[in-house]
């Protein structure tokens, strides 16, 4: 063995024996640096991301629990239990039969006579109020797909005859029937009958409103709240003339063998 | 024979160096321990946050399912609120007409009657047909309409189409639209009915 090699081994052993702690310190410093840069630092940004995700999810969870709570409260709220009256005042379909029935009821209670009536219902099977259930992704994809028209109008020309107070009463009552109806044109004339009695004739153009807006429900969306003004409207609507209209559930004149009944022909 | 230690100085310098090394080692150990502790803490945080996130996601799924079962109630409620908002809007729009009818009936008195109306609800323009039995009550009506206390409530108040019919009655059209700050316009009147 060469002399230099033996000397170097001895020096290294001496160095190991005498500077052991320094060597360990150097190893530890490198291990600390490695820990910081390769184990701790890479975890910091995922932790921050996880925290912010958790915050978002927690917020969403709180909103959902609030919504569940709200839905439970709604089911027992006085206003919601009486929502049928609101549906009656602003129905989700063209309310032709209801309007005619309630006009007849108004005519009877004001002792007037309807001498002419003209209505153009338009499309009977038009689009009525629908519910769109969509996810937030769908909502952002189709922002303009919603039906923005809130209500439809059913126009009716009407001529009413009666004494002046009776016609006045009719005019007063007609705006408080369901479905919601407004007088948009009115012409009042005094007419003399053949027996020289004077009658008042009112020619009216009535607009009756029905609901057409399509709504969108999303799980994460908050429920709308009812304000003071809407509560007032709700109370007013409850005072509208009650309707005795009942939706027919039988088809009258059905089960006939000859649909047309033309003499000489059998169908 | 007296022993002679030729390395006595070397030993003392070595022990000083070793003491310094020990100090450096201690400091390195402290830093290492701190960083190891930090590593354990960050690892723990990651696992804890992942666990929390997973459990909250499960809760969200359950809550979503519950809301979906109440979909019918939700849509009925939204319809209900929307309808109330629309009815309010319609009430507000037609309030102008009700107020104007009442206001002018009071202003003109019992002799003069409002025999017609035409209401453009969208634009808020109301046209009233006013019938007066005599020329004197017609003059009174015109005087009342020219009163600044009356005109201040309207952004436009126009008298047109004055004519006299076979029965000797005077008839004219009154086209009005309320000013924004009119004290007369309060929708409460509609709600009192």
Distance, CA of A240 to CA of A242 (rounded, Å):
6
Q: Candidates 3.30.70.60, 3.40.50.1370, 3.40.1160.10, 3.40.190.10; correct CATH number of A83-238?
A: 3.30.70.60
Count of pairs with CB atoms under 8 A, one residue in A, one in B: 205
Q: How far apart are the CA of B117 and the nearest CA of chain A, in angstroms? A: 5
What's the pLDDT at B102? Answer: 83
B193 pLDDT more than 50:
no
What's the pLDDT at A147? Answer: 53
What's the pLDDT at A145? Answer: 46
Preferred mutation among A233, A234, A240 to probe B, highest tally of B CBs within 10 A = A233
Smallest CA-to-CA distance from A60 within B65, B61, B78 is with: B61
Q: Can you give the pTM of this predicted structure?
A: 0.75
What's the pLDDT at B132? Answer: 92
Token output for B67: 């809301």
B26 pLDDT more than 90:
yes
> How far is residue A265 from each of residues A256, A261, B159, measured CA to CA in Å?
15, 8, 64
Which residues does A143 contact at the CB level (< 8 Å), separation at least 6?
A: none
Per-residue pLDDT of B112-163, as tens digits, reads 888 888 888 777 788 889 999 999 999 999 999 998 888 888 888 899 999 9
Token output for A103: 């006009």
Residues 7-26 of A with CB under 8 A from B: 18-22, 24-26
Distance, CA of A98 to CA of A78 (rounded, Å):
25
- Which sign, positive or negative, has the C-alpha torsion B38, B44, B47, B48? negative
Residues 90-129 of A with CB under 8 A from B: 90, 92, 129
Distance, CA of B70 to CA of A60 (rounded, Å):
18
What average pLDDT does the structure give for chain A? 82
Lowest mean pLDDT among A29-38, B52-61, B134-143, B183-192: B183-192
Residues of B in contact with A183 (CB under 8 A): 97, 117, 119
A213 pLDDT more than 80:
yes
Most confident of the ranges A137-151, A196-210, A237-251, B57-71: B57-71
Q: Can you tell me the mean pLDDT for A41-55?
A: 94
Q: How many CA atoms lie within 13 A of B76 on its CB side?
A: 15
Locate all alpha helices (DSSP H) within B4-158, ordered by sequence: 8-69, 71-108, 135-146, 148-151
Q: How many CA atoms lie within 13 A of A195 on its CB side?
A: 2
Task: Enumerate the domain spans of chain A.
Answer: 1-76, 83-238
Q: Using the structure block, give the residue that is written with the tokens 């607009």.
A: A207
B88:A233 CB<8 A: yes
Q: Can you tell me the mean pLDDT for B78-84?
A: 93
What's the pLDDT at B182? Answer: 66
What single DSSP character describes residue A241? P
A7 pLDDT more than 70:
yes
Which residues does A201 contact at the CB level (< 8 Å), separation at least 6?
A: A115, A159, A160, A161, A167, A188, A189, A190, A191
B100 pLDDT more than 80:
yes
Distance, CA of A110 to CA of B75 (rounded, Å):
38
Enclosing H/E stretch for A154 = strand A151-162
Token output for A71: 């839905």
- Which sign, positive or negative, has the C-alpha torsion A117, A123, A124, A130? negative
Nearest Cα residue in chain A from B124 = A184
Token output for A143: 């922002």
A167 pLDDT more than 60:
yes
For chain B, list the domains and their CATH numbers. Answer: 84-192 (3.30.1360.100)
> Would you say the ipTM is above 0.90?
no
Token output for B54: 């997973």
B35:A35 CB<8 A: yes
CB A78 within 8 A of CB A85: no
A138 pLDDT more than 60:
no
If one compares B179 and A220, the residue with the highest pLDDT of the two is: A220
B66 pLDDT more than 90:
yes
Q: How far apart are the CA of B55 and the nearest CA of chain A, in angstroms? A: 10
Q: Can you tell me the mean pLDDT for A77-93?
A: 90
What's the pLDDT at B179? Answer: 73
If one compares B37 and A10, the residue with the highest pLDDT of the two is: B37
Q: Can you tell me the mean pLDDT for A138-157?
A: 68
Smallest CA-to-CA distance from B78 within A140, A70, A88 is with: A70
CB A220 within 8 A of CB A136: yes
A251 pLDDT more than 70:
no
What's the pLDDT at A187? Answer: 85
| B43, B115, B191: residue with CB nearest A236 | B191
A68 pLDDT more than 90:
yes
Alpha carbon A113 to its chain's center = 40
- Interface check for A175 against chain B (CB to CB < 8 A): the answer is yes
If one compares B168 and A130, the residue with the highest pLDDT of the two is: B168
B119:A185 CB<8 A: yes
Q: Can you tell me the mean pLDDT for B90-106?
A: 84
Token output for B66: 């519950």
> How far is residue A173 from each of residues A92, A111, A192, measured CA to CA in Å?
23, 12, 25
Rg (C-alpha) for chain A, rounded Å, is 40
Residue B49: pLDDT band by 50, 70, 90 thresholds? Answer: very high
Say whether the peptide bond before residue A179 is cis (omega within 30 degrees of 0).
Answer: yes
């Amino acid at each position: 063995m060469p002399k230099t090699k033996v000397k170097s081994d001895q020096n290294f052993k001496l160095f190991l024996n005498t500077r052991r702690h320094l060597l360990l310190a150097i190893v530890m410093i490198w291990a600390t640096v490695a820990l910081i840069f390769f184990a701790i630092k890479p975890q910091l940004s995922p932790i921050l991301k996880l925290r912010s995700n958790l915050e978002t999810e927690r917020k969403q969870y709180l909103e959902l629990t609030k919504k569940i709570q709200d839905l439970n409260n709604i089911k027992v709220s006085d206003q919601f239990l009486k929502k049928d009256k609101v549906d009656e005042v602003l129905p989700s379909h063209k309310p032709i039969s209801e309007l005619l029935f309630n006009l007849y009821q108004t005519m009877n209670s004001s002792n007037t006579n309807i001498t002419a009536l003209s209505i153009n219902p338009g499309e009977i099977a038009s689009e009525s109020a629908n519910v769109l259930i969509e996810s937030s992704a769908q909502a952002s994809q189709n922002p303009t797909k919603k039906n923005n028209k809130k209500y439809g109008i059913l126009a009716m020309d009407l001529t009413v005859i009666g004494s002046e107070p009776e016609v006045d009463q009719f005019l007063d009552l007609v705006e408080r029937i369901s479905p919601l109806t407004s007088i948009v044109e009115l012409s009042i004339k005094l007419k003399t009958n053949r027996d020289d009695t004077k009658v008042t004739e009112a020619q009216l153009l009535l607009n009756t409103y029905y609901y057409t807006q399509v709504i969108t429900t999303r799980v994460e969306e908050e429920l709308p709240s009812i304000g003071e003004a809407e509560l007032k409207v709700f109370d007013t609507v409850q005072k509208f003339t009650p309707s005795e209209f009942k939706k027919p559930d039988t088809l009258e004149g059905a089960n006939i063998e000859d649909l047309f009944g033309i003499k000489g022909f059998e169908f | 024979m007296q022993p002679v230690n030729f390395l006595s100085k070397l030993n003392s310098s070595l022990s000083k160096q070793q003491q310094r090394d020990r100090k450096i080692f201690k400091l390195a150990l402290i830093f290492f321990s701190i960083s190891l502790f930090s590593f354990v803490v960050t690892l723990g945080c990651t696992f804890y946050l992942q666990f929390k996130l997973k459990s909250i996601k499960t809760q969200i799924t359950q809550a979503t399912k519950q809301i979906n079962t109440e979909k019918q109630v939700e849509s009925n409620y939204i319809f209900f609120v929307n309808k109330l908002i629309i009815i309010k809007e319609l009430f507000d729009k037609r309030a102008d007409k009700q107020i104007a009818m009442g206001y002018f009936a009071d202003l003109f008195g019992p002799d003069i009657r409002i025999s017609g109306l035409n209401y453009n609800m969208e634009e808020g323009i109301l046209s009233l047909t006013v019938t007066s039995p005599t020329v004197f009550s017609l003059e009174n009506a015109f005087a009342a309409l020219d009163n600044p206390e009356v005109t201040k409530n309207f952004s436009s108040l126009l008298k047109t189409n004055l004519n006299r019919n076979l029965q000797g009655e005077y008839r004219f059209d009154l086209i009005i639209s309320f000013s924004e700050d009119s004290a007369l316009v309060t929708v409460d009147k509609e709600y009192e009915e």
